[in-house]
Amino acid sequence: MPTTWFITGTSSGFGRLLTERLLARGDRVAATLRRPEALDDLHAKHGDRLWTALLDVTDAEQVHRVVDDAFKALGTIDVVVNNAGYGVFASVEEAADEQIRRVIDTNLLGSIHVIRAALPHLRAQGRGRILQVSTSGGQTVYPNFSYYHASKWGIEGFCETVAREIAPFGIGLTIVEPGATPTGFGASLDTAPVMPEYENTPAGEMRRAITSGAFNLPNDPQKIAEAIINLVDTGAAPLRLPLGSDTYDDVRASLVARLAEHDAHRDVAYSVVTDELI
């Protein structure tokens, strides 16, 4: 039986790749994006197996309306993919207030809106999958991405909690963490005027690596899309799925370092326990 997917941010990147591959194999896709005409070519090729809608995930009312419309039109949705995203590339002082609000509104609150809108329908079905597209930057950090990290660390914490809450309803949630991949995301990063004070800091070094093309993009976007689809096909629902050599290596190094630092403070942590419990 074909699987029915609801995917946000389908005009480009992983959203577009997933939509193309899923339609090509006979699945149905409810694709949402800011410019529905961007999928006219897929409409012409696949007909009514592609349902599209204009959606700005920062508009909570619109999110609920579009999700409701998608379930009504398609009857059942098996997989909800939170893919829409926005990136700010700037040091902590360089970013404008509007950029900070937009990255939080899109990556954190927007993803929350979609999950909250979909859950009543998935509970009524008694089954379903939610895939939250995050990044290696949901568990580790890189200079000049502080606000992007704030949104991704936030949504990962939210999703880890939600996964426990919705498991009794037969709904699985997986946080998908692609690494650096040539999907055009880097070119679409929002930037800010550079402050010379940060030029000779890790933020400046990262900026030069990105702008010069020296920053490594080791992963294949088609293979990442295939791995995401394969995950659903197998029925597995791990909490996190790292995709990319950089994701695996960088996140593992971060976790090892955090654990070492955590363990280093064991004595002082226990020293503040009330005397009655010692």
The string of DSSP codes covering the chain is: ---EEEEE--SSHHHHHHHHHHHHTT-EEEEEES-GGGGHHHHHHHGGGEEEEE--TT-HHHHHHHHHHHHHHHS---EEEE-----EE--TTTS-HHHHHHHIIIIIIIHHHHHHHHHHHHHHHT-EEEEEE--GGGTS--TT-HHHHHHHHHHHHHHHHHHHHHGGGTEEEEEEEE-S--SSTTTT-EE-PPPGGGTTSHHHHHHHHHHHT-S-----HHHHHHHHHHHHHHT---SEEEESHHHHHHHHHHHHHHHHHHHHTHHHHHHTS-GGG-
Q: Distance between CA 99 and CA 87 in Å, rounded?
A: 9
- 206/186 Cα distance (integer angstroms): 12
Catalytic residues: 134, 148, 152
- Sort 115 into a burial class: Cβ within 10 Å, 0-12 / 13-18 / 19+: buried
Report the distance separating Cα 170 and Cα 50, nearest Å.
Answer: 26
| C-alpha span between 79 and 132 (Å, rounded) | 11
